[in-house]
Amino acid sequence: MRPKELCFLVAFHTTTEALALEDAARAAGVSGRLIPIPTQITAGCGLAWRMPISEKESMLRLLLECRLRYEDVYELTI
Amino acid sequence: MIYLDSAATSYHKPKQVAEAVYEAMLHMGNSGRSGHEISLTSSRTIFGARKKLAALFGMDDPAQVAFTSNSTQSLNIAISGLFGKGDHVITTAMEHNSVLRPLYREETEGMELTVIPCDEKGTVRYDMLEEAVRPNTKGIVCTHASNLTGNVVDIRRIGRFCRERGILFVVDASQTAGVFPLDMEEMCIDVLCFTGHKSLLGPQGTGGLCVRKGLEIPSFCVGGSGVQSYSRTHPSQMPTRLEAGTLNGHGIAGLSASLDWIQETGLAAIRKREQQRMRRFYEGVCEIPQVKVYGDFTAAERAPIVALNIGENPSEEVCDALAVRYGIATRGGAHCAPLMHEQLGTVSQGAVRFSFCYFTTEEEVEKAIQAVKEIAEEWT
């Protein structure tokens, strides 16, 4: 099995929301990347932003400051 | 060939547009369908185009820009989604069938429709707007510029009129987007419908609608969205709400490149050159005795269109002579604007439409004037 790690994830309603977050994260220097959404979150397709759990606070600040739209946030071992 | 049919579609496009489409076809996957780079490249390109369009049209939220295939599809989505049985809608005699037919279809289902006529120069009768309003008036749908005469509508005035009365304002910007300033906020526009292939200089098969935040238009088409796959209903969030199925990512990449070119060149510079070409052509043909020009040329700004007829000659025959004898591409006949033709008295004759663009040269304009002179002398 692939080794797993605790991650912080942001899920979105739409691809556009995901891309807006990617833009904002890149501009703010917050690490992470878009990944196919893990099935533990939803069985649907789509994208999620995955980042190390250590970056959780920076992301929560970014979501607020940039008034980014998203569906939910998760801490997940994947 | 001298191309003077830009109101139908832009033929001369910045070379970056075709290059962007080609690159996209080599490197872009399906937007929003996966997290690999080939899919993400598409997602990022499309999102980039949304941002550029939002900026161009004075919107702060790119998510409110939904892509469609063209203005006609956008107008169908807006009209069928916002208006129906029991509602009253006002439009003008300047409209293209892309506005009229969706409205007529709703009319057969019980929507009430009022068409504001135009004066003899084809300018909308603003003075008749107030009396047209009824207690159940829900919207005004109108073009920003006539595709037949080039007359520009004062949409800022109509937008304010609508906002003061709580009426929705839907604008067809097919002939003006990319040339004339359009600010949805300032002009009180609720829905702006555009096509990518005309003055936005993008590929055919691109277009969209910008929806004021807070206004909800029901999904027109439902299906694949890349998100919320197990929901039985289509996602309600914009822009996915109004987009179903794979977008024309390759075309949108081209549109994105043309938006860059427009941004770099500047709307004012584009407009200035187009106005010069159009005005010079008008001056050159309006004094020819047999030529009748339609539209209001006293207006400060107008779309770069000159529609005319030579005597009683059928417009399509003049159009054909221009193409075959002079290599000049124009459009003759009817122009999908039946009420405008009725108002101008050109239902049977149609009109020869010369439409100019940023890439039209002075020399081409002079050749077109000379061609009209020669046909007029010969066919009298």
Query: Which pLDDT value is given to residue B34?
Result: 83
In terms of domains, do B95 and B228 share one? Answer: yes
Residues within 8 A of A (CB atoms), B 206-235 only = 225-231, 235
B63 contact A CB<8A: yes
B311 is a domain residue = yes
- Residues B57 and B202 occupy one common structural domain: yes
Q: Is the pLDDT of residue A43 over 70?
A: no
pLDDT above 60 for A12: yes
CATH architecture of A6-77: 2-Layer Sandwich (3.30)
Q: Which helix (H) or strand (E) element contains residue B193?
A: strand B191-195
A36: chain B residues, CB-CB within 8 Å? 34-35
Low-confidence residues in chain B, pLDDT < 70: none
In a domain, B93, yes or no: yes
Are residues B348 and B258 part of one domain?
A: no
Yes or no, beta carbons of A15 and B235 under 8 Å apart: no
B35 close to A (CB below 8 A): yes
Give the pLDDT mean for A9-14. Answer: 93
> Are B141 and B273 in the same domain?
no
Token pair 């139908």 is at which residue? B8
Residue showing tokens 């998203």: A70
User: pLDDT at position B243, please?
Assistant: 97
- Kindly report the number of other CB atoms within 10 A of residue B333's CB atom: 17
Which stretches of B242-327 are DSSP H helices? Answer: 249-265, 267-286, 315-326
Are residues B195 and B279 both part of a single domain? no
| CA–CA dist B202, B251 (Å, integer) | 7
B38 & B149 share domain: yes
Q: Is B122 left (phi over 0), alpha (psi -120 to 50) or beta?
A: left
Domain final residue, candidates B243, B265, B287 = B265
Whether B1 maps to a domain, the answer reads: no
Q: What's chain A's average pLDDT? A: 91
- Asked if B231 and B358 sit in the same domain, the reply is no
- Structural domain total, chain B: 2
Task: Give the CATH number for residue B374.
Answer: 3.90.1150.10
Does residue B260 sit in the same domain as residue B273? no
Query: Domain for residue B98, yes or no?
Result: yes
Cis amide leading into B239 (omega within 30): yes
Encode burial over B347-363: b for 16+ CB neighbours within 10 A, e otherwise.
eebbbbbbbbbbbbeee
Q: Domain-by-domain residue ranges, chain A? A: 6-77
Q: Model confidence over B335-348: pLDDT tens digits?
A: 999 999 999 999 99
Q: Does residue B337 lie within any of the structural domains?
A: yes
Q: Which of B234, B265, B296 is the last residue of a domain?
A: B265
Q: Evaluate if residue A44 carries a pLDDT over 60.
A: no
Amino acid (one-letter) located at B282: Y
Q: What is the pLDDT of residue B230?
A: 84
Same domain for B299 and B229: no
Q: What is the pLDDT of residue B76?
A: 98
Closest alpha carbon to B205 in B354, B71, B345, B47: B71
- Residue after which a domain boundary falls, among B211, B237, B265: B265
| pLDDT for the residue A40 | 84
Q: List, in sequence order, the alpha helices (H) in B176-266.
A: 249-265
Question: Could B240 and A13 be called an inter-chain contact, meaning their C-beta atoms sit closer than 8 Å?
Answer: yes
Q: What pLDDT was estimated at residue A20? A: 96
Is B43 domain-assigned? yes
Identify the domain containing residue B276 by its residue range: 267-378
How many angstroms away from the CA of B68 is the closest CA of chain A?
15
* β pairing state of A72-77 and B65-68: unpaired
Q: Are residues B253 and B306 in the same domain?
A: no
Q: Does residue B2 lie within any of the structural domains?
A: no
CA distance B335 to B121: 17
